[in-house]
Amino acid sequence: MFICLAVAVPYIDLFISLFGALCLSALGLAFPAIIDSSTYWYTLKGTRGTLIIIKNCCILIFAVFGLVVGTSTSLEKIIEKFSNSNSTA
């Protein structure tokens, strides 16, 4: 799959930007929050448990926001690059 994407996006900097936007939000932000919540789910009681769940939900919302913004910005740059290269050819 990634080979097809690399062929479709020959500019490596744009490919790295798109891949980073997709992976950073998931691997760096969302998955640790999900793992933290699921690991301690049965011990999250009282005020402390509620605060941890709220914290993890905020991290998830931030990760989804980063995913959407990063991916849309990368795709806009890819579209702009290809539209400029096609118009000059």
pLDDT, tens only, 45-88: 888 889 999 999 999 999 999 899 999 998 898 888 888 766 65
Asked whether residue 30 is assigned to any structural domain, the reply reads: yes
Q: Considering the domain boundaries, does residue 77 fall inside one?
A: yes
Residue 67's nearest CA partner among 35, 23, 34 is 23
Banded pLDDT at 5 (limits 50, 70, 90): low
10 Å Cβ neighbour count for 16?
Answer: 12
Question: Considering the chain, what percentage of its residues have pLDDT values greater than 90?
Answer: 34
Provide the 10 A C-beta neighbour count for residue 22. 14
Give the residue numbers spanning the domain of 32. Answer: 16-81
How many domains are there within the chain?
Answer: 1
> How many angstroms separate the Cα of 82 from the Cα of each of 10, 22, 40?
10, 21, 47
One-letter amino acid for residue 33 of the chain: A
Residue 5 lies in a domain: no
For residue 26, tell me if it sits in a domain.
yes
